């Protein structure tokens, strides 16, 4: 296929109308050029595309604008098509691709909300037509721009360190290709093929930023708001990378809160400190010598920071984010305690309406799929939520709600705040009774909207959520539990959530079930949504965990299972067996260096073993990360290397985790793999000793 040479600039100007807008060539949305600074603009467009303003605002049928007027070629962007003469049966095309009915919602005769389908990079016409009535067909020429590159994930923390996949269409990327975000280099991790590469984001400021990809021959592709920096952490920072370890090890040490370099950190290679280096002003230490074999145990420590050890590192680069220690002792000699918490949060707002498709054209109908209250204390209520990163998390309803008394034109208004980012929102509608304790909320319907891009310190309005999915299905779950020990586990807790693409999980009020742990048992989820309408093409994610008492340890969480229908029972298992800390034995003395971990029974092997050693009542924590199920772990004596790093004496708590991770390669470990959000299955327990 011949490569296309895009030579267009796409501009947005203020809040003026399509007719009044004066386009400015100084604000392109995206461009492709053969030079670093681009060439002369080929097409300059006002908001809504080249055709914006061509049709008079009084025309009986017209498309006047599309907002936003561009998005990734992979689709998924929520846009509002504005015009005249739209009916509730209105259909929309982007080029030759029609928007599925589940992805479009006619708000009124002047607005249609749609989720853009995938397309080919470049400008396309936007077409609308009421049902099969060809006389109502209208076209906005070049009304939408499919960006030639897309980043996944499209948002990340301001501290940087997020590994993003950058994809292009008809590109020829190679090892000479360079990527920048907001003109700062995005460190190339891997060039997978001519259309896909992976890079690690630099630190940035909150807001939407440009991504520019430049090939070795000088061809440049740029999209101005392809990545959004926010204040939340998606868990992809830090870890192991690079080529096979061979004679030289590079360690990068950063502050987990600020993302700043940590100078003067001690890097210890080997259990007996065969090599020791300090990080420079940029937080980098390079270790050479005989201590660097095919694998190396790497420990990083600094006064007033929590130490961390990576066992048997097989690659040549380790990126470490150290957590500051919040202790008054850190004031002495250091000037001030390391910064932590209290960072400035950039908050934006989202507002819109919950919509029920009425029996009459564009009527403000509502709550049609929610039963009437049966008592005086019950009321109709709905909540709008963001997706969760963990499908096993507990659903927590927001403090603000939507009721039949809420204002609105087409539906019922909602308002929420959020850090900058790209969001999928979902709504749960049902009956609530606050006269009981705790208050009871029963959901009967839900809806979903994807692709809500939220810049920094901005307001996104007119976001409409079609509450079109009843919660009227049931699913059976068959579970075989792990081995029970004298300490537990003794309870089984199962969870069900809806996975929304790669964006996250919709948690449900009826998505949790619990019972006494048995060798084999069946649990039933009642009141879950069918995968139709706004949930079409999604899937269920089911998980279970064996716990002790009220969600205590020991516990074992089984690998998550996906399903797309409720017609047959879903089987879960096998569980990872709970860990046993053999050295130090429970309630004995620890020598500060040796750890041996086993398991309560026979079962699948873990991909990763983590041990958190907490001293000083939990003020200090030493994390040890090891691949697989190591027979034994030996740690360096921190105090012998530097007295200021000495591990505190006294009572010690050991949290031991055995985790499974799908497709895991220890040499490509990222920080997401160090928490439940990155695990498909895990088992953990706590142990106590003295030092």
In angstroms, rounded to a whole number, what is the distance separating the alpha carbons of residues 239 and 244? 15
pLDDT of residue 27: 34
Residue 38 pLDDT exceeds 60: no
Confidence at residue 353, expressed as pLDDT on a 0 to 100 scale? 96
Q: Does the pLDDT at position 336 exceed 70?
A: no
Which residue in the block uniquely carries the two structure tokens 């939507």?
402
Check the CA dihedral 465-468-470-474 and report its sign: negative
Residue-level pLDDT at 551: 58
From start to end of 501-607, where are the E strands? Answer: 504-516, 521-528, 539-548, 552-557, 561-563, 570-572, 579-583, 594-599
- Domains in the chain and their CATH numbers? 30-147 (2.60.40.10), 149-230 (2.60.40.10), 473-572 (2.60.40), 579-690 (2.60.40)
What is the pLDDT confidence band of residue 550, given thresholds at 50, 70 and 90?
low
Neighbour count for residue 133 (Cβ, 10 Å): 12
**Residue 684's pLDDT band (cuts 50, 70, 90):** very high
What DSSP state is assigned to residue 417?
E
Tell me which of 220-234, 363-377, 459-473, 620-634 is least confident.
220-234
What local confidence, expressed as pLDDT, does residue 289 receive?
81
pLDDT at 3 over 80: no
* Integer Rg of the chain from CA: 28
Q: What is the pLDDT of residues 373-429, one digit of tens each?
A: 999 999 999 999 999 988 888 899 999 999 999 999 999 999 999 888 889 999 999
User: What is the value of pTM for the model shown?
Assistant: 0.71
Could you give the 3-state DSSP secondary structure of residue 445?
Answer: strand
- For residue 611, pLDDT over 90 is answered with yes
State whether residue 433 is helix, strand or coil: strand
User: Per-residue pLDDT for 597 more than 90?
Assistant: yes
Query: Which stretches of 397-498 are DSSP H helices?
Result: none
Over the stretch 482-503, which tens digit does the pLDDT of each residue have? 888 888 898 898 999 999 987 8
616: left (phi over 0), alpha (psi -120 to 50) or beta: left
pLDDT-based confidence at residue 51 (cuts at 50, 70, 90): very low
What span, in angstroms and rounded, lies between the C-alpha atoms of 49 and 669? 44
Which one, of 309, 320, 315, 259, lies nearest residue 285 by Cα? Answer: 320
DSSP secondary-structure letter at 337?
Answer: P
Give residue 21's pLDDT band: very low, low, confident or very high (50, 70, 90): very low
The sign one gets for the Cα dihedral 382, 385, 389, 393 is negative
Work out the average pLDDT over 263-272.
Answer: 95
ω into 554 cis (within 30 of 0): yes
- Residue 149's Cα: distance from chain center in Å? 20
Q: Largest Cα–Cα distance of the chain, in whole Å?
A: 85
Tokens in use for 90?
């209105």
Q: Among 379, 370, 373, 435, which residue's Cα sits nearest to residue 403?
A: 379
Q: For 539-666, where are the alpha helices, taking DSSP H only?
A: 638-641
d(CA 30, CA 211): 9
How confident is the model over 661-677, as a mean pLDDT? 89
């Amino acid at each position: 296929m011949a490569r296309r040479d895009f030579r267009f600039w796409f501009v947005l100007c203020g809040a003026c109308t399509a007719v009044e807008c004066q386009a400015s060539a100084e604000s392109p949305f995206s461009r492709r050029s053969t030079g670093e600074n681009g060439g002369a603009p080929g097409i300059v467009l006002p908001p809504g595309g080249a055709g914006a303003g061509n049709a008079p605002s009084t025309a009986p049928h017209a498309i006047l604008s599309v907002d936003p007027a561009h998005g990734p070629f992979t689709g998924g962007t929520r846009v509002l098509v504005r015009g005249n003469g739209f009916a509730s049966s209105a259909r929309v095309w982007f080029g030759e691709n029609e928007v599925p009915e589940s992805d479009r919602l006619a708000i009124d005769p002047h607005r249609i909300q749609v989720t853009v389908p995938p397309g080919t990079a470049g400008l396309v016409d936007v077409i609308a037509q009421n049902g099969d009535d060809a006389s109502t067909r209208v076209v906005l020429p070049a009304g939408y721009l499919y960006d030639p590159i897309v980043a996944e994930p499209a948002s990340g923390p301001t501290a940087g360190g997020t590994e993003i996949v950058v994809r292009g269409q008809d590109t020829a990327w190679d090892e000479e290709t360079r990527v920048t975000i907001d003109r700062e280099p995005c460190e190339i991790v891997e060039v997978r093929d001519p259309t896909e590469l992976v890079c690690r984001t630099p630190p940035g400021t909150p807001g939407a930023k440009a991504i520019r990809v430049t090939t070795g021959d000088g061809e440049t592709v740029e999209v101005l708001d392809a990545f959004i920096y926010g204040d939340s952490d998606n868990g992809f920072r830090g870890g192991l990378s690079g080529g096979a370890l061979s004679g030289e090890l590079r360690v990068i040490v950063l502050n987990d809160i600020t993302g700043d370099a940590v100078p003067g950190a001690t890097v210890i290679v080997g259990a007996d400190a065969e090599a020791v280096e300090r990080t420079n002003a940029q937080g980098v230490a390079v270790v050479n010598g005989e201590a660097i074999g095919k694998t190396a145990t790497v420990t990083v420590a600094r006064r007033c920071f929590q130490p961390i050890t990576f066992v048997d590192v097989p690659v040549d680069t380790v990126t470490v984010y150290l957590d500051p220690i919040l202790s008054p002792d850190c004031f002495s000699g250091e000037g001030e305690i390391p910064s932590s918490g209290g960072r400035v949060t950039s908050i934006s707002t989202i507002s819109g309406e919950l919509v029920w498709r009425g029996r009459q054209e564009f009527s403000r109908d509502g709550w049609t799929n929610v039963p009437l209250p049966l008592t005086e204390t019950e009321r109709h209520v709905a909540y709008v939520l963001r997706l969760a990163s963990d499908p096993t998390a507990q659903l927590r309803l927001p403090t603000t709600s939507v009721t039949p008394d809420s204002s609105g034109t087409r539906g019922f208004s909602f308002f929420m705040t959020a850090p900058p980012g790209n969001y999928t929102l979902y709504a749960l509608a049902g009956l609530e009774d606050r006269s009981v304790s705790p208050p009871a909320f029963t959901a009967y319907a839900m809806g979903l909207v994807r692709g809500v891009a939220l810049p920094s310190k901005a307001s996104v309005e007119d976001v409409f959520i079609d509450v079109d999915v009843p919660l009227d299905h049931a699913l059976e779950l068959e579970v075989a539990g792990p081995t029970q020990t004298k300490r537990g586990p003794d309870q089984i807790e199962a969870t069900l959530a809806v996975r929304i693409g790669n964006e996250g999980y919709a948690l449900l009020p009826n998505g949790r079930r619990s019972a006494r742990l048995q060798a084999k048992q069946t649990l039933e989820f009642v009141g879950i949504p069918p995968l139709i309408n706004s949930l079409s093409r999604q899937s269920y994610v089911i998980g279970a965990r064996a716990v002790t008492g009220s969600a205590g340890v020991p516990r074992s969480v089984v690998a998550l299972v996906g399903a797309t229908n409720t017609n047959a029972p879903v089987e879960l298992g096998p569980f990872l067996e709970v860990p046993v800390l053999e050295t130090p034995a429970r309630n004995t003395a620890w020598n500060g260096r040796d750890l041996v971990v086993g398991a309560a029974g026979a079962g699948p092997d873990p991909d990763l073993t983590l041990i958190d050693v907490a001293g000083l009542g939990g003020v200090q924590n030493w994390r040890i990360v090891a691949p697989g199920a190591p027979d034994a772990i030996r740690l360096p004596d921190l105090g012998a290397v530097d007295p200021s790093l000495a591990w505190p004496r006294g009572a010690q708590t050991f949290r031991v985790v055995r985790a499974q991770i799908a497709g895991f390669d220890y040499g490509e470990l990222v920080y997401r793999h160090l928490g439940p959000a990155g695990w498909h299955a895990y088992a953990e327990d706590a142990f106590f000793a003295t030092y």
